[in-house]
Amino acid sequence: MPIPIRTSSIFRPQNPVDRSAIRHSRALVDNFNRRQVMRGALSLAALTLLTGCDVSEEDSVQNALRAVSSWNDAVQAAIFRPDHLAPTFSPSQVVKPPRFNAYYDVEDVRPIDGEAWKLELAGLIEDKRPWTAQHIYQLAEQELIIRHICVEGWDYIGQWSGPNLRAFLARIGADLTAKYVYFICNDDFTESIDMASALHPQTILATKYAGQLISDPFGYPLRLRTAVKLGYKNAKWIKAIEVTNTFRETFWSKQGENWFAGI
Amino acid sequence: MSIAAVRSTTGKKRLLHPLPLRIMHWINALAIFIMIGSGWRIYNDDVLFGWLHFPDFLVIGKWAQYGLQWHFFGMWIFVINGIVYVTYGIVTGRFRQKLFPISMREVVATVADALRFRLSHENLTVYNAVQKILYLGVMMIGVIIVISGLCLWKPVQFSELSGLFYNFQTIRLIHFLCMSAIVGFVLIHVTLAVLVPQSLVAMLIGGPTVGATFTAEAQPPPAAKHGRINS
């Protein structure tokens, strides 16, 4: 069945997919199905494999550990308190500048041209017209002085402001009953969060840090900042947002980091 | 519940370490092995002390994310097994009979005997005062390491609990210190198990048959307890 190409979007290829790509990706597709089977099935294999005590990252061990990680996603979603607020702090406690984190060094940041930049929208959204930075700056701002906690163990208190994500999603007519909000970033980074966390009152699309426009290394012109996720879930340099019911692995979850990553 | 009541309800004979207890002991040993090895891998990613990095051959998980996967797998084993173990210890009366009472006089006497290498190991079924303190202490550390671990895992969802600590790094430090205490306990515990091999054998096959109170039936009554320390 041919796939109709409705609009030009970074989510849709400009040219049709080469049939050979499907053959080449067969192994990947099969692997994905196996993963689905593993998902949610906390198998006894995890326990029996342990007695091998090789303690290596072999495929079978990895699959078992990933199954547990998926189970932990479900547990975290179950204990998530949608209206429970994270502690906030005073402006005097704010660290300036914020601490840099990415999968590469700060010198390798590719700055975005804010004039040409547009935020694309896709998926279960009624009004998919792209947004310019100027349009976003006109939205009501919310300020969060919250603790950033990195999965590595460090933390700092930061002062972020920008439109509340729930208000933004409501404004663009997003389906708030969908499961995921997916972010595509300028540095080929992808990240997604569950809808409950997206709708949490302390989740914003940050445009400013400590009252100033966010500087290049920290996600200019637009980044996610939520009080209920680990640092790596806070996508920087966002160029597109998709609301979807389809789970897709993200940059870090593909590497074995926990997907839900709630705090 | 008095000792007499325990006797009347559970009067049958059993081994010093009944099968469920041995199973829980070895599951716990495995869980602690996983938690400490993976915990060291996670620690290495952002160390608390610049002078301390755990060498790669001692850690579990090639990369930090694999260490985290192991840690968040092991936590289920450690916590579920721990809850069952503590419940078992309380419900069967084992904790009360084997770990209490602890008298200061007995502690001093046991330490003095230990320093003179005069501790008796003839009766495995009775713990000396230092053993009692170590076992109770490591159980309390176990509770604190779980609480601090929950606060590290979910500082926002459990903010009422994590708010009891000064800040996030303090929770990390407490979690680390509890780990250090457990490592210290394991070193002593394993050393003594090797020095007194019959205690290791008992934890594998059950040990001597005991009465309802988990102590050997030939045991003198509590009033004469002090006599066993270096007899």
* pTM for this prediction: 0.82
List helix spans (H) across A111-152. Answer: 133-137
Count of other CB atoms within 10 angstroms of residue B108: 11
A25 pLDDT band, cuts 50/70/90, is: low
Query: What 8-state DSSP symbol labels residue B121?
Result: -
Q: Are A248 and A196 in contact (CB under 8 A)?
A: no
Q: What angle do CA B160, B163, B166 make, to 5 degrees?
A: 170
Residue for token pair 């439109």? A163
Average pLDDT across chain B, whole number: 87
Phi, psi (degrees; rounded to nearest 5) at B210? -130, 170
pLDDT at site B168: 97
Q: Which residues contact A210 (CB under 8 A, 6 or more apart)?
A: A91, A94, A96, A158, A159
Which residues of B touch chain A, with CB atoms under 8 Å apart?
30, 34, 37, 42-43, 45-46, 48, 60-66, 68-70, 72-73, 76, 153-157, 159, 163, 167-169, 172
Tell me the Cα Rg of chain A: 20
> Which candidate from A72, A86, A151 shows the least CB-CB separation from B159?
A86
CB contact under 8 A, B157 and A66: no
- Considering only alpha carbons, which residue of chain B is nearest residue A72? B72
Pick from A12-16, A221-225, B225-229: least confident: B225-229
pLDDT at site A30: 54
Which of A245, A124, A134, A250 is CA-nearest to residue A185? A250
| Angstrom distance (rounded) from CA B125 to CA B13 | 14
Enter the ipTM: 0.83
**Interval B181-201 mean pLDDT:** 94
| Angstrom distance (rounded) from CA A154 to CA A147 | 10
pLDDT at site B218: 47
- Considering only alpha carbons, which residue of chain A is nearest residue B172? A153
| Angstrom distance (rounded) from CA A237 to CA A222 | 6
**Interval A12-21 mean pLDDT:** 57
Classify residue A107 by burial, with Cβ atoms within 10 Å: 0-12, 13-18, 19+. Answer: exposed
Which residues of A touch chain B, with CB atoms under 8 Å apart?
46, 50, 55-57, 62, 65-66, 68-69, 72, 76, 79-81, 84, 86-87, 147, 149-155, 227-228, 252, 255-258, 262-263
- Considering only alpha carbons, which residue of chain B is nearest residue A73? B72
pLDDT at site B104: 86
Condensed to tens digits (0 to 9), the pLDDT of residues A199-215 reads 999 999 999 999 999 99
pLDDT at site B210: 84
pLDDT at site B213: 60
**Interval A63-69 mean pLDDT:** 95
Q: Enumerate domains of chain A plus CATH numbers.
A: 19-79 (no CATH), 91-254 (3.90.420.10)
B9 pLDDT band, cuts 50/70/90, is: very low
Residues of chain A positioned with their CB less than 8 A from the CB of B61 = 57
Count of other CB atoms within 10 angstroms of residue A26: 9
Which of B173, B104, B105 is CA-nearest to residue B145? B173
Residues of chain B positioned with their CB less than 8 A from the CB of A252 = 65
Return the higher-pLDDT residue of A54 and A20.
A20
> Which candidate from A57, A151, A257 shows the least CB-CB separation from B62?
A57
For chain A, how far is it from start to end, CA to CA, in angstroms? Answer: 43
CB contact under 8 A, B65 and A46: no
Domain B17-46+55-222, CATH 1.20.950.20 — does that match?
yes
pLDDT at site B84: 98
pLDDT at site B221: 46
Q: One-letter amino acid identity for B208? A: P
CB contact under 8 A, A68 and B69: yes
Query: What 8-state DSSP symbol labels residue A232?
Result: G
Strand stretches in A109-178, DSSP E: 118-123, 131-132, 142-149, 155-162
